[in-house]
Amino acid sequence: MILSKYCASGNDFLIFHTFEHKNRSEYAKKMCNRFYGIGADGLVVLLPYAQNSDEKGDEEAISELDSKQIAYQWEFYNSDGSIANMCGNASRAVTLYAYHNNIAGLKHNFLSKVGVIENNIQNIKSDKEALVQSNLGKFSFEGSFVESRRENLYDFELIMVGIPHLVCKCESLREFDGLLDDLEFLSQLRHKHNANVSIAFRENDVIHYATFERGVEGITQACGTGACAVFASFREFDKSYTLIPPSKERLIVSSKNSEIYFAGLVSLVATCVV
């Protein structure tokens, strides 16, 4: 079994392609374990695209999917073995993997559980690294919440970008750092709202952010959907922003036709034989 490890702006993933559909939750837990496995934030499986039973009853849906020229579909597993509908940075990682393995070209689409994801390898830096952009599609604002913690009140907004994110825009770097250190509070919010929790602090056109992710149950080095949710929360869709996650690798996020695009570096870390 050959697994390729890719890193997308600090998020790392194990990726392989196969023709076999099956549940790989336990395998994902084993391989993603950083002590007894290879170690990663998630496992991604590329599969040949095939219409499912729901699509076969909807000719309009079939026609729309066919027009997208889907190169493949995927299964995505978090490091705890849970299945996620979407992962932004993984969408960029599999794009480079598919190109490296002659599965798809520089610009292609694949099918996720939230729909078709459009991808574009914009700049090849080396045989192992490239700048990759993904279009995560439309987003929606689902509600606002005020949460209290140690006599402090925090405003959160629930934003859907394929998967749900609670977003808090901090007024100061001190407030941002305080929330970043309060993992117990972030974990409580993650379970209370069954959502990822993203916090952000803006300095001019640069936004520092971090995400407490479901399935990882901690703050990751980067989160693509988190970056897009944070971008949406500022509601300045005519501008592009540089977002900096804990990994310090820059993500460029922008909007066009009410859809969110984000780009960043992706690199092949290793090819693993297990």
Hey, which residues are catalytic here? 87
Strands 42-47, 241-244: pairing is unpaired
Rounded Cα distance between 68 and 118, Å, is 9
Rounded Cα distance between 5 and 96, Å, is 11
**How many CB atoms lie under 10 A from the CB of residue 38?**
18
> 143: phi > 0 → left, psi -120 to 50 → alpha, else beta; which?
left
Residue type, 127: D
Contact yes or no for 134/95 (Cβ under 8 A): yes
Tokens, residue 47: 């599969």
Given the structure tokens 């490296």, which residue do they identify? 100
- Beta-bridge mates of residue 139: none
For the four alpha carbons of 171, 139, 263 and 77, in that order, the dihedral sign comes to positive
Rounded Cα distance between 41 and 62, Å, is 33
SS3 content of the chain, % helix, strand, coil (to 5): 25, 45, 30
Q: What is the dihedral of CA 274, 222, 101, 55, to 10 degrees?
A: 100
Residues 6 or more apart whose CB falls under 8 angstroms from that of 126 comprise: none
